[in-house]
Amino acid sequence: MSAEIYAIRYSSREAQAHEHFYRAAPCHGDMPMAYYVWLVRTEQATVLLDTGFTAAKSEALGRPYHGAPLETAAELGAGRIDHLVLSHLHFDHTGHIGEVADATVHIQQREMQFWLGRHAGVGEYAALCDPDDLSALVHANVAGRLRWLDGDADLVPGVTLHLVGGHTPGSQVVRVETDRGPVVLAADASHFYANYENRAPYAIAHTLPLMYDAFERLAELAGPEGLVIPGHDPLVMERFPSAGPGLEGRAVRIA
């Protein structure tokens, strides 16, 4: 069985282009944003990349909710999640950690340390994380389910994790071998196709030089025949087919 990859869209919001590029004041026009989690199924395991935010968070933010990510994953046949990979710890990627109760959770050590450290509550950082989600990670750690990573790592055959940093201290991406070639799930290493293709960093930058380096790492991991899938681009829903009847607008199959 070749790896199957699905993008699950759970929320969206209207936005302007200037919001999505670092110091991009000249950018104008509408540029909506989509919110995804990603499901990877191989012969060995079922892997979830990120968990999205909750319906309650969606309501508080005033953003439409297209369906709970874990429920959509279950509709795609993911009755059990073996591995939960967290690309980084911004709130839109961490909302259902406590519900993935049996999975091994994979997080970069420097990401975890930052958000449990003294700067997490400083300035804009405080608005980017959710304390309850961080608490769920602490519980997972005490339960022995947290795998602390320090750089690149093998997950299961054909699936590898890669530290890139930049957007956050320990942002990581996922590379999956498929019949169509490598697929790199970039998460927020590239929010939109335009970030990666134009080498234009997103507006939220923890370490700007590493954001530029991340684009080159994505290209290296994908190779000439592979795909780089951005983390928030509505075009993902247009470029790939629906995952199945009843899932239109919520999930597409990438491979």
Percent of the chain clearing pLDDT 70 (strictly above): 99
pLDDT at 1 over 80: no
pLDDT tens, position by position, 62-90: 999 999 999 999 999 998 999 999 999 99
pLDDT tens, position by position, 138-166: 999 999 999 999 999 999 999 999 999 99
| 3.10.20.30, 3.60.15.10, 3.40.640.10, 3.40.50.300: CATH of 4-253 | 3.60.15.10
pLDDT at 97 over 70: yes
Higher pLDDT, 27 or 248: 248
Residue 79's pLDDT is what? 86
Strands of 104-108's sheet in order across:
146-149, 104-108, 83-85, 46-49, 33-41, 4-13, 251-253
Containing 173, the helix (H) or strand (E) segment is: strand 172-178
Residue 194's pLDDT is what? 96
Residue 91's pLDDT is what? 97
- Three-class secondary structure of residue 182 per DSSP: strand
Domain ranges across the chain: 4-253
pLDDT at 26 over 90: no
pLDDT tens, position by position, 128-137: 999 999 999 9
Residue 25's pLDDT is what? 59
Confidence bin at 27 (pLDDT 50/70/90) = confident
- pTM check: above 0.85: yes
Percent of the chain clearing pLDDT 90 (strictly above): 95
pLDDT at 125 over 90: yes
Residue 2's pLDDT is what? 84
- Three-class secondary structure of residue 232 per DSSP: coil
Q: Extract long-range pairs of 59-64: CB within 8 Å, 24+ residues apart.
A: 61/13, 63/11, 63/12, 63/13, 63/35, 64/11, 64/12, 64/13
Residue 121's pLDDT is what? 95
Confidence bin at 192 (pLDDT 50/70/90) = very high
pLDDT at 24 over 80: no
Residue 23's pLDDT is what? 85
